[in-house]
Amino acid sequence: MQSGIPPHVVRADIDAPGPAGPLRGTLLSPAAHDVPVVLIVPGSGPTDRDGNGPYTRASTYRLIAEGLLSRGIASVRIDKRGMFGSASAIPDADNVTLDDYATDVHSWVTAIRQRTGTPCVWVSGHSEGGLVSLVAAQHTADICGLILVSTAGRPLGQVLREQLQSNLANSPLLNNAMSVLDDLEAGQPVDATKIDPGLMPLFRPQVQRFLMSELAASPTTLLAGYKKPVLIVQGLQDLQVSQQDAQLLKHANPQAKLVLVANANHVLKAVRTRDRAGNLATYSDPDLPLADHVVEAIATFVKKPDAEHR
């Protein structure tokens, strides 16, 4: 789908240094100087800079970027190391940790500041990208503040256990799944011979290093000591992250601004039905606009963080 980008804006490729090759992304900005810049950090798996992948074609990040542009805010959306435009950054896209992705956020913040002259960069993480952003914020001084979108407030182990118990109820796979998860939480890799083939997509050895790094992270602990402005955006039709997660994040940092969007699902599309299939169908519709108030909440926060952060 061609975007209706007017001619008086900047749409350009932008790079940041990666471990073995460049990280690549797209800068979308008003032509004016001194505008805020939001770095959009993608969620889990092979998700590209627009928010698309093998299972999702919602173009969520592109739509956020275009919505911010219409409100006078620049954005950079990115491909993760080892994937898509950033494929040459590392030889193996699976051989990563949470800290690696956080290092890339730091690299992007530096590159964006050099390219645009902005004194600091707003970092917006979606889903798993919220956790990446929280880790990056611990060691990156030039972040203006954080925007946590559809971000889990519970540690990954709790989330996975809940999902596994729901999806594998009465299945012989459940005990094996819980055993593998116990070992990974303890920092112990699990040999492929001890993993049922039905669980290999989740627990295959190639991704265990990353899983162990995620399992060791606590979103609320990372957020509790953060002193800069924070916005939490949570859709109430989200099938993957709950209002409880958003409330846990808010409780960890009471100064954070919490915005609940009644009709938004996990990919921030409008859902007005309780039907799960109807909800998931929006994941494959790039032409469906974002739910009302999502972009507005981010834009208002970025332009007036002091008014929100108190």
Question: pLDDT tens-digit profile of 41-91?
Answer: 999 999 999 999 998 999 999 999 999 999 999 999 999 999 999 999 999
Rg of the chain over CA atoms, in angstroms?
19
Question: pLDDT tens-digit profile of 105-159?
Answer: 999 999 999 999 999 999 999 999 999 999 999 999 999 999 999 999 999 999 9
In this prediction, residue 28 carries a pLDDT of 98
Does residue 308 surpass a pLDDT of 50? no
Domain annotation for the chain: domains and CATH numbers:
9-154+218-308 (3.40.50.1820), 157-214 (no CATH)
Distance CA 203, CA 145 (A): 33
Does residue 310 surpass a pLDDT of 80? no
Query: Mean per-residue pLDDT for 225-252?
Result: 97
Number of CB atoms found within 10 A of residue 305's CB: 18
Residue 33 — very low, low, confident or very high, per pLDDT cuts 50/70/90? confident
In this prediction, residue 1 carries a pLDDT of 42
In this prediction, residue 6 carries a pLDDT of 62
Percentage of the chain beyond pLDDT 70 is 96
Tokens, residue 284: 């494959």
In this prediction, residue 8 carries a pLDDT of 81
Nearest to 289 by CA among 267, 305, 307: 267
Query: Mean per-residue pLDDT for 179-202?
Result: 97
In this prediction, residue 7 carries a pLDDT of 60
Eight-state DSSP code of residue 193: G
Does residue 10 surpass a pLDDT of 60? yes
In this prediction, residue 309 carries a pLDDT of 46
Distance CA 177, CA 161 (A): 9
Eight-state DSSP code of residue 3: -
Q: Where are any strands of DSSP class E within the chain? A: 9-16, 23-30, 37-41, 74-78, 121-126, 143-149, 230-235, 257-261
In this prediction, residue 273 carries a pLDDT of 87
Residue 307 — very low, low, confident or very high, per pLDDT cuts 50/70/90? low
Question: pLDDT tens-digit profile of 249-304?
Answer: 999 999 999 999 999 999 999 998 889 999 999 999 999 999 999 999 999 999 98
In this prediction, residue 304 carries a pLDDT of 86
